[in-house]
Structure 1
Amino acid sequence: MHHISREPDAEAVEDEERQYGHDPLIRQELDSKYKNRPHNHSKTLPFHDLIIYLFNPLIEHQKVHTGPKISRNKQGRYGPKNPAPHEMRRNIIQRFMSKWRNDVGDDFYPAMRLLLPDKDRDRPMYGLKEKAIGKLLVKLMKISPDSEDGFSLTNWKLPGQIAGARGAGDFTRRCYEVLSKRGMRAAYGNMRIAEVNELLDKLAAAQGEAQQLSIFETFYEKMNADELMWLIRIILREMKFGASEKTLLNIWHPDGEAVFNMSSNLRRVCWDLTDPEQRLEDDEGGICLMSCFQPQLAQFSLNTFQKMVDRMGATEEDPDYWIEEKLDGERMQLHMEDASIPGGKRFAFWSRKAKDYTYLYGNSLEDDNSALTRHLKEAFDPRVRNIILDGEMITWDPESDLMVPFGTLKTAALEQQKNPFGGGMRPLFRVFDCLYVNDQDISNFTLRDRYNALIGSVRDVHRRLEIHHHVVATSVNAIEPLLRKVIAEAAEGLVLKNPRSLYRLNSRNDDWMKVKPEYMEEFGEALDCLVIGGYYGSGRKGGRLSSFLCGLRVTKNMVDSRCMNPMKFYSFFKVGGGFRAEDYDKLMYLTNDKWHDWDRKNPPTEYIELAGPDGQYERPDVWIKPTDSVVVGVKAASVGPSDSFKTNFTLRFPRFTTIRPDKDWQSALSIDDFLALKAQAEADKQKSMEFDRSRKKTRKRIKKDFTIAGNNGNVKTPYAGPESKVFKGLNFCVLSEMIHPTRKTKAEIEQIIKSNGGSIFQSTTAKEDILCIGDKRVVKVASLIKGGYTDVIKPSWILNAVAQADIDGPGRERFLVPFEPNHMFHMTPGTRQIVTENVDVYGDSYARDLSVTELRRVLDDMIPVKNSSFSPADFLTELEERGKGLGEMRGSIFSGCVAYFSGDIERDAETRMAKMRFEFAAGVVVDKLTEEVTHVAIVDEDRDAVRSLRKRISERAGKVPRVVGWAWVEESWKEGTRLDEERFAVVV
């Protein structure tokens, strides 16, 4: 029940002034903007309550959580004794929120912005990263930067004796270890959440180190080491305490996530949703003008074109679907409204991640610092008073009249701010959707209607703001010619859209689907580049170099040779993938004692040049002289422009292949050499761009189940499965044979029950608590169902219970698998309520291990059940598009790889394990040598078979897959990275 509202006391008023301003006019403005803004009746909780009641319990819950124990109740049914792990997590969070509501009031925003600091749009970035915080702490504690503790804080990625190997790469752990020895207090301090928020606001506004240090001194005096560690995590916006954004928002209020999706505003979530019992009305859940929302995203699909088109929801009356070019830029939303300012219109821009870019693109038509809006005087129909547009901000080169690949957008925008009417590259906003016009949210209109509103409201401003047009198609045959066109133009790909669809906030679904070319080849042969810098890793690689900066040699014709050091290199790319442990060891052996710490104030510009102001982009932790370094072979998917490297371009998805001891800095790749290779690769790609998209339908083989039973249903062979006492004391009546998941006769089921301690009866009334087993609607089963008082259990429960008993092993307390919905052939209403509590919303059991088939079904059903927008394939693609990745995670080693295993993959445990590991690590296994195949893994190395296989591969159109031994999978898994295939090539 919601508590009764109380009047704020003096301390509550003081807390509110701390956080929202001492000027009453500011607070009145907040009350005007947020009509339902709550006011706490008491002062906020101490900061350490977050640690005691939330952070620590959730972390402990992560470390040790037990599954539900099963017990039998008086009615003979089985159910969980303890809550499931996710329920325990919810209980921890709910208890803290209830404590806040009771002890403080309904304004939870002060706490929420500390729990989700990365989602707090009201507080600017602090401009502080780990090294800067480390320097502040060194000065705060008045210790020497060269002391063991001082060096440990400012060089936190290095291994140190203070934190040991465990602390290497974990900055907050290092801070805790140092602060716990020098803190002003051992016990928790008395700072309240309101005071912490007040000081964090001041820290975000602080100018220079002196102001930052003064604020840190206050924290240092009033907090112990544990509190300071969590404070630093809040400043770094890296919390990781076991609760996601979605979990916190929805536990606070059932509409919490929905409101955040449409506003990206934690204030609104906390201030508009104070009572969990009061749900939003339908007209309250829409997009708001000048309030950032979480946009709809395109689903990435690996299905055939036909399947993708089938999902577009076409009908005979409306067979259309739309095809758009996928743009290589930054997703952006534009808000415009009439205002009493020069030019009469006010603008706002937000990125997909809700970053405010209004400062860059302009807030009005007369904004002298605008990179875009000053050019939009004719962009809107005079009848348009306000509007919200969704689109992509791209970089356009007026000289070539072409779109420039992603990586130079911000540079182009900054240049336009300085020179708005110059001829250089500029930002261009391509609009593909309209979601709000003249005070009306139209996101619930169809895409077709929204597009009509768009073309009626917006006018193209040449190469500044333009409507992104589409092709209307009715047949799958329309996709391939357009895809060939975007390949020829080196564009991103296509997006298919359902014109009948509504706009769904923060969702990926089949209404929008991306189609990308599958021809992407590695960029040329291995590039032999010189290592010029190194970066220390974190996590399991903490304390040692885990990735390396490579450069291109500067040639004499690029600069005045009289002033140039012949050993100068420009930064080109970073590489960390593809290294085996022995590769790291060899590289470090060859460069031992030759590394130098990078001095930001005195960089080695005579040898190495970086990009950015003062040459600070992609700055390595250590550097090495060209004469002392080694050349490494690296392969990559492609090359693209980048402002982060001195060469102004970089490799996409680089991967180490080998160390080249036969080469030195003088024979390493130069800028001229690379440009020549790049030109040749582009020419070759144009010649080999033909590929065949035809799909052949394959006939599925149906494997029939084999049962061993005589004509009379008696078992011919004795039961050879596990034997236990799992059914001891239970009485059964088997009414029919078993049909699913495998066929077993009535006699076989009875034998399994008896072998595991159960008693068999042929009458359902022989015992009072008899369990009726049936998988078919035979006469006896139909009679029981008609009676309405008896549960009928499927034989599959028998098999699951025996299998779990076998896993649990002998000598343990008996564990009987509880009934689940898919175990029941028929349930009475009372049983149904209990049984449904034994699985989660996806049907995943709380009490037993699932089979592979069951797990696949659960995973397949997850998105429809939860209506989740998350797509693993799309998530990986988005990371890679932005030059990121999943680093050392084993689950991503074979991302993007499609393998055909040639030979008997089931021949032994090792080959079966290789296939399973490949699939676990994001690889896809197919049973045909189709055009999607990127790798052919040879299991049986028969020379004639391999020769025949290579001949088939060479004769087919499209890309040519790698032919490797299956050991490539095992070795890559062992090393935790995808290894170069050439080491495992199978030759005949």
Structure 2
Amino acid sequence: MDSDEIVPEPRNVEEDLDEKYPNRPHNTAPTLPFHELYLNLFHPLSQIKKKPATTAPAKRKVGSSNKSATHQSPYELRRDVIARFISRWRKEVGNDIYPAFRLILPDKDRDRPMYGMKEKVIGKMLVKIMKINKESEDGYNLLNWKLPGQSSTRMAGDFAGRCYDILSKRPMRTEPGDMSIEEVNEKLDKLAATSKEDEQIPIMAEFYRRMNPEEFMWLIRIILRQMKVGATERTMFHVWHPDAENLYSISSSLRRVCWELHDPNIRLEAEDRGIALMQCFQPQLAQFQMHSFDRMVSRMQPTEEDPVFWIEEKLDGERMQLHMAPDDSVAGGRRFASWSRKAKEYTYLYGNGIYDENGALTRHLKDAFVNEVQSVILDGEMVTWDPEQDAPVAFGTLKTAALAEQRNPFTNGPRPMFRVFDILYLNGKDITKYTLRDRRKALQRILRPVHRRFEIHPYQEATTTTEVETCLRNVVAEASEGLVLKNPRSQYRLNERHDDWMKVKPEYMTEFGESLDLVIVGGYYGQGHRGGNLGSFLCGLRVDNPNSSQPEKCWSFCKVGGGFTAADYQEIRHHTDGKWMKWDSKKPPTEFIELSGGDAQHEKPDMWIKPSDSVVICVKAASVGVSDMFRMGQTLRFPRFKKLRKDKNWKSALSIQEFLDLKSNVEQEHREKEFNVDNSRRKRVKRAVKKALTIAGYDEKENAQYLGPSGHIFDQLNFFIMTDASYPEKKSKGELEQLVKANGGRIYQTNTAVPDTICIAERRTVKVASLLKSANFNIVKPSWLMDCVKQNEKDVGLPDLLLPFEPRHMFFIMEDRDEEININVDPFNDSYARDTNVDELKEILKQMEINKKQSNHSLDPHTLHKVESHIQAKIDSGYTAPCGWLFRGLRFYFSTQTPSANGDGASSKPEMDHTPICVARNTARFASANIATSLKSPDVTHVIVNPATMSREDIISLRKSLATRAGKKIPHLVSLDWVQESWKNGTLLDEERFSVSR
């Protein structure tokens, strides 16, 4: 080396940051002590969170100020606490608040990687650090934080709270510690930089030595990124700077928010308010589905001149943004970067350039763009595609497929495929302000799709609800995620949920809902208000082999935790008390319960119970999906508890073979229905079903050996059954005959054997066609038999009642006999004698000629969508849904009087005391329900009544009013108890349990 050559000094991190952020602020004093965070911020905010929404004003002393804290809303009080802390920081430390915000908003700090430490790992570390015996009470409580404590259930389900409980017994310090915020950040950076336990334990031990128990509790919450202080990042951002939220939306960088917006008087320039190349942003999200297709479509059609909206299939993958910029280091080269919706960078996985040998995607994109394209930002979905099946694979396999593609890009195995549905940036220009229609035109002009690796996501133009329903049925048949409706006239809205994009998922639609009777075989301890008790249950299907040496055995099938009331939990505990056993992973009870994964024991419960000691519960679900986490290889999607089946034991619960038979029958019914509904003139080609269909048609059905309750409904009646049944349940001719015999009827194989024989048929077979020629008797559908049985099964304890024939029950009616059939239903075919189910009522409403009227909303839609977006984002991150979110998306009509003839809920009767109605209405409003002022509102989902103040005639009149209301959907008619019990239990309960049927 020449002596004249100057060796540059190594640059430090601070110099690199100064170069990248030349205007970043610098603090003039050391950061505040860490304990100031919890004393002056976390603890005060948590206390406000616990206060009720409204408080009585305190008595003021003479001469006191008119302005009192008790007069401020909780939101204002939180802003005051945050503003005081920020003001103190500026005054005592400086304008660089980034060190504090990294600890206040740990889940928004993208610069610090994940720690790779969950509750179980931290618990084991603390046991070692504090030298606690694992078998001691504190050791047990720390390692089994979800389980009730050995001496009490305090803090069960709250890991940080339980740590505080144990640390406070043996603190290294009782007074607040001396660690500064800067020191804590340095230690946390080291903690995140290693995954080795022997390097992590000394860091955690130093925290333990230098912090008091309350400080350490908040540190654990920071590590777990579960702060729960009652104030959101949006509130923090708004207090810090008016443009902070906007900058975070376009950058996903907490560092930029703190450094570029340190002066609240300097606003973002116009050019800094849009997205930038190679800079992650927060994408637009789809709004949640409304309960009415009509309402959704009306939002998509703001003008009659252009009523078109787009329908896209909702993909089961990972939302991804792909950035491309020129690469000056290589001739004609391009460099890429990709980020997920949560701002996690995946460039290492999918590639940083077309010559990146580790790129699972970008190496295939050399010819994917026209020559004129220099830079671009694309928005889309990364999915796993199986070339052999030529079909997408479940989302959980995406990373595995990408790693396999990195190793060998030329195999025919599953691979990542990027489906592009939007373009936001092109050749140096932000185009988010252009309409979706214009952006899609640009996308199609610049892209050259790479088959099954890089494709433009297709869409279908539509104008009616019928087209949405047809598409939804198609995606259900193929087990797809659902649909997304898009307004082609809309701009792209960063970090917002808006009506311009709406998702429609099959699991939201009650017509695809299902009920199955399953046996509880395991339990999981809950968190929060369910802490210390079993909050969810593992349900199984009975193994079909009565001759087996292990007859009492179930396969794991699904996990159910929603829809339970406190009374439901209490009743399950009552029936199973003293029968639960702790799950031992070393000695699993395989003779009774079989899990998936072999030794891995997927979805293993905390406690287990023998099937013969357990209870059977009726479970509602959206659909059936493939899952390797349960022994069945399939599971229920979005299951919800419906009711406890006290009339069943484990032997009469659904078995494996019964479930498979049921699933097969339902798939066949769906295929037949799909074939028959097409009334077009063109010959329809049936599409092969690639995946499992949603189960439908199983409504509290007993197992295959149980054909219905025995009784005397058909005593002294004679039957001639000619065909099997496909609706409402599929039964063979033999099963129908057994059903009749079990209920007192007599079976003959001809209609002339005895007089007054009732002929049963559903299809026009040769025998049926021959009998129809005589035309001297009616022919009844098998559905009448099942309706009679079902109705009497509901009316247990009452005399057996034979239902009169209805038009829907008749396969053939003799001449001049229509009147005696039609008299049993109202003008809309609603039965007078039989309980009509929801599907029938929906069909009744579809046949009515109605005038549609749209509701007027006084709320600011923009503000409402921002609030909804924020709350849903927190729920998606694992937070429990807040109580004010319970009835979001529902529209209630509270009936306080007998409806008048015009159906608007008014009457000349004097008003009664409606205090319970008022309480329920206020509760519903607080929990985000929309309140309708008239039954004419087309999107009412629930009609709420107080049965104590209504007579039988009132309720009958109300039901008739519902039959004439506008709209396609029939609302639930429920009592006030449904609102109060759902609110009390923090979950939507099954409406059938609170239906008004007087």
Please tell me the residue identity of whatever aligns with 1:645: F
How far does the alpha carbon of each residue in 1:912-954 deviate from its partner, in whole angstroms, 9 at most, with x for none?
A: 6556656665666765499867667774563897599599979
Paired with 1:141 and 1:61, the residues of 2 have a C-alpha distance of 33
For 2:16, which of 20, 25, 29 is the aligned residue? Answer: 29
Q: CA deviation at 1:615?
A: 2.5
Paired with 2:400 and 2:365, the residues of 1 have a C-alpha distance of 20
Identity %: 53
Distance 1:356 1:674, change over 3 A: farther
Name the structure 1 match of 2:603: 618
Determine if contact 2:852/2:938 at 8 Å carries over to the other structure: no
How far does the alpha carbon of each residue in 1:770-809 deviate from its partner, in whole angstroms, 9 at most, with x for none?
A: xxxxxxxxxxxxxxxxxxxxxxxxxxxxxxxxxxxxxxxx
Name the structure 1 match of 2:234: 246
For 1:869, which of 863, 866, 871 is the aligned residue? Answer: 866
Name the structure 1 match of 2:431: 442
Paired with 1:520 and 1:975, the residues of 2 have a C-alpha distance of 23
Name the structure 2 match of 1:655: 640
Determine if contact 1:554/1:670 at 8 Å carries over to the other structure: yes
What SS is found at the alignment partner of 2:442? Answer: helix
Paired with 1:952 and 1:688, the residues of 2 have a C-alpha distance of 29
Paired with 2:602 and 2:871, the residues of 1 have a C-alpha distance of 26
Distance 1:241 1:410, change over 3 A: same
Name the structure 2 match of 1:786: none
Check if 1:256 corresponds to 2:244.
yes
Please give the residue correspondences for 1:641-790 in structure 2 after superposition, counting only pairs within 5 Å: 641-660=626-645, 665=650, 667-685=652-670, 692=846, 696-697=850-851
Distance 1:411 1:629, change over 3 A: farther
How far does the alpha carbon of each residue in 1:474-493 deviate from its partner, in whole angstroms, 9 at most, with x for none?
A: 78887666566556656555
Please give the residue correspondences for 1:273-672 in structure 2 after superposition, counting only pairs within 5 Å: 273-300=261-288, 302=290, 311=299, 321-339=309-327, 340=329, 344-403=333-392, 409-410=398-399, 412-413=401-402, 416=405, 420-472=409-461, 491-514=480-503, 520-521=509-510, 526-553=515-542, 569-600=554-585, 603-604=588-589, 607-611=592-596, 615=600, 617-660=602-645, 665=650, 667-672=652-657
Paired with 2:483 and 2:519, the residues of 1 have a C-alpha distance of 37
How high is the TM-score relative to the length of structure 1?
Answer: 0.70
Please tell me the residue identity of whatever aligns with 1:544: N
Distance 1:891 1:699, change over 3 A: closer
Determine if contact 1:309/1:476 at 8 Å carries over to the other structure: yes
Q: CA deviation at 1:402?
A: 3.8
Check if 1:182 corresponds to 2:170.
yes
Paired with 1:278 and 1:309, the residues of 2 have a C-alpha distance of 42
Q: More relative contact order in 1 or in 2 (CA 8 Å, sep 6+)?
A: 1
Name the structure 2 match of 1:59: 46
Q: CA deviation at 1:139?
A: 1.1
Point out the more displaced range, 276-285 or 890-899: 890-899
Please tell me the residue identity of whatever aligns with 2:851: K
Paired with 1:572 and 1:596, the residues of 2 have a C-alpha distance of 20
Please tell me the residue identity of whatever aligns with 1:137: L
Q: CA deviation at 1:110?
A: 1.2
For 1:225, which of 205, 213, 216 is the aligned residue? Answer: 213
Please tell me the residue identity of whatever aligns with 1:106: N
Q: CA deviation at 1:892?
A: 2.2
For 2:183, which of 195, 201, 208 is the aligned residue? Answer: 195
Name the structure 2 match of 1:112: 101
Point out the more displaced range, 247-256 or 388-397: 388-397
Paired with 1:399 and 1:898, the residues of 2 have a C-alpha distance of 49
Determine if contact 1:886/1:892 at 8 Å carries over to the other structure: no
Q: CA deviation at 1:261?
A: 0.5
Paired with 2:972 and 2:242, the residues of 1 have a C-alpha distance of 50
Q: CA deviation at 1:192?
A: 1.3
Paired with 1:317 and 1:980, the residues of 2 have a C-alpha distance of 42
Q: CA deviation at 1:87?
A: 3.9
Please tell me the residue identity of whatever aligns with 2:952: D
Please tell me the residue identity of whatever aligns with 1:652: R
How far does the alpha carbon of each residue in 1:541-564 deviate from its partner, in whole angstroms, 9 at most, with x for none?
A: 22111111112345689xxx99x9
Check if 1:267 corresponds to 2:261.
no
Q: CA deviation at 1:307?
A: 6.1
Name the structure 1 match of 2:837: none
Calculate the aligned-residue CA RMSD, in Å.
Answer: 4.5
Please tell me the residue identity of whatever aligns with 1:50: L
Name the structure 2 match of 1:212: 200
Paired with 1:571 and 1:895, the residues of 2 have a C-alpha distance of 33
Paired with 2:185 and 2:432, the residues of 1 have a C-alpha distance of 36
What SS is found at the alignment partner of 1:181? Answer: coil
Q: CA deviation at 1:44?
A: 2.0
Q: CA deviation at 1:386?
A: 2.7
What SS is found at the alignment partner of 2:658? Answer: helix
Please tell me the residue identity of whatever aligns with 1:942: R
What SS is found at the alignment partner of 1:436? Answer: strand
Name the structure 1 match of 2:29: 42
What SS is found at the alignment partner of 2:859? Answer: helix
Q: CA deviation at 1:171?
A: 1.9
Paired with 1:932 and 1:908, the residues of 2 have a C-alpha distance of 28
Determine if contact 1:640/1:651 at 8 Å carries over to the other structure: yes
Please tell me the residue identity of whatever aligns with 2:524: Y
Determine if contact 1:157/1:538 at 8 Å carries over to the other structure: yes
Please tell me the residue identity of whatever aligns with 1:631: V
Please tell me the residue identity of whatever aligns with 2:632: T
Q: CA deviation at 1:293?
A: 0.6
Q: CA deviation at 1:265?
A: 0.7
Distance 1:951 1:477, change over 3 A: closer
Paired with 2:592 and 2:507, the residues of 1 have a C-alpha distance of 40
Paired with 2:230 and 2:171, the residues of 1 have a C-alpha distance of 27
Please tell me the residue identity of whatever aligns with 1:191: M
Determine if contact 1:898/1:932 at 8 Å carries over to the other structure: no
Distance 1:170 1:275, change over 3 A: same
Paired with 1:327 and 1:614, the residues of 2 have a C-alpha distance of 33
What SS is found at the alignment partner of 1:870? Answer: helix
How far does the alpha carbon of each residue in 1:299-331 deviate from its partner, in whole angstroms, 9 at most, with x for none?
A: 346386676566558668877654434434332
How far does the alpha carbon of each residue in 1:599-634 deviate from its partner, in whole angstroms, 9 at most, with x for none?
A: 455555565454569525434222334454333221
For 1:138, which of 111, 127, 133 is the aligned residue? Answer: 127
Point out the more displaced range, 885-894 or 528-537: 885-894
Please tell me the residue identity of whatever aligns with 2:279: S
Paired with 1:897 and 1:27, the residues of 2 have a C-alpha distance of 55
How far does the alpha carbon of each residue in 1:637-656 deviate from its partner, in whole angstroms, 9 at most, with x for none?
A: 22233454343432123222
Please tell me the residue identity of whatever aligns with 2:101: M
Determine if contact 1:890/1:976 at 8 Å carries over to the other structure: no
How high is the TM-score relative to the length of structure 2?
Answer: 0.70
What SS is found at the alignment partner of 2:420? Answer: strand
Point out the more displaced range, 477-486 or 194-203: 477-486
- In structure 1, the gaps of 5 or more residues are 1-21, 702-855
Name the structure 1 match of 2:814: none
Point out the more displaced range, 971-980 or 49-58: 971-980
Name the structure 1 match of 2:822: none
Paired with 1:956 and 1:422, the residues of 2 have a C-alpha distance of 57
- In structure 2, the gaps of 5 or more residues are 1-8, 678-842, 900-910
What SS is found at the alignment partner of 2:581? Answer: strand
Paired with 1:497 and 1:978, the residues of 2 have a C-alpha distance of 29
Paired with 2:530 and 2:301, the residues of 1 have a C-alpha distance of 48
What SS is found at the alignment partner of 2:867? Answer: coil
Paired with 1:251 and 1:530, the residues of 2 have a C-alpha distance of 52
How far does the alpha carbon of each residue in 1:723-775 deviate from its partner, in whole angstroms, 9 at most, with x for none?
A: xxxxxxxxxxxxxxxxxxxxxxxxxxxxxxxxxxxxxxxxxxxxxxxxxxxxx
Q: CA deviation at 1:885?
A: 9.2
Distance 1:644 1:925, change over 3 A: farther
Aligned length: 799
Please tell me the residue identity of whatever aligns with 1:574: K
Q: CA deviation at 1:190?
A: 1.4
